[in-house]
Amino acid sequence: MSRRGSRDPGCWPFLVARGRVVGQRTLLVPGFLAERGLSGLLRDAITGSLTQEGESRHAEASLPDGGRIGLSYRIVQASPPGAEGVVLRDRSGRPIELAYGVVVTGATGARVRIPVADAELPGLRPMALEVFARFLADERAFRPLVSAYVPVATLAAGTAPVPEPGPEPARPAAPGRAEPGRKDAPAAPVTRGSGDVVGWPEATQGRPRAAGPPEARPGLVGWLLSLLRGPGAGLWVVVLLAGWPVALVLALALALRD
């Protein structure tokens, strides 16, 4: 029976396996489980060793909302793509196994047993092998694929549905980086034409400017030059010519007074 109780049952294909370097995981996830983040439910429900030729195994699993699903599956020895019959092993030397089958839902779906042997559903195994080959190409970067609800008759006719890409995992924002357009986004640094950073805008907004270094006071020579250039310069020339020691004392007194 299908989820709607029709005579033409439907199901969701799935595949569970591990790779050469990564552990056991669900590689092909029924859409309704992927949407709810329950792909691990299938991995935990599968038990047992390799199935015999033509054998199908059945299991049931409970959903968080209280419903139940039924799994009909096979466990077979994995082979490298294009090398049927060769035992594929992980980096520890253990043989890799594939658990593929279908999920059935509904009030009585958990108790439905669907034969999933190659002779019964010839379209199921090619679909699982295609997904597994994609997984082996880049195990760490592989995103689980999603299967759609498909009539059992489609798989029995030898048609292998094309799985859909899974949802993109959420990526946390990098620390210190704000999204474009946000008011709390940090302003760009103030730079010179050469590109050297000279400060940040928020460092000067609403703050008093720092006092610069004190102006240098003119020395004795500077005072003498200012006297010769200012009003009464002629008188100072006469004084200097008449007695430069006196002029020197007067200039020094003026400098110390200011």
**Residue 10 near residue 3 (C-beta atoms within 8 A):** yes
Q: Helix or strand or coil: residue 96? A: coil
pLDDT at 79 over 50: yes
pLDDT band for position 219 (50/70/90)? low
* DSSP H/E element including 98: strand 97-104
pLDDT band for position 78 (50/70/90)? very high
Q: Helix or strand or coil: residue 164? A: strand
pLDDT at 177 over 60: no
> 236 to each of 103, 240, 249, 254, how far by Cα in Å?
111, 6, 13, 13
Q: State the amino acid at position 119 in one-letter form.
A: A
Helix 220-229 and helix 244-257: axis angle, to 10°? 100
**pLDDT for 71:** 94
Indicate the pTM of the whole model.
0.62
> 168 to each of 17, 30, 141, 147, 171, how far by Cα in Å?
21, 16, 12, 16, 9
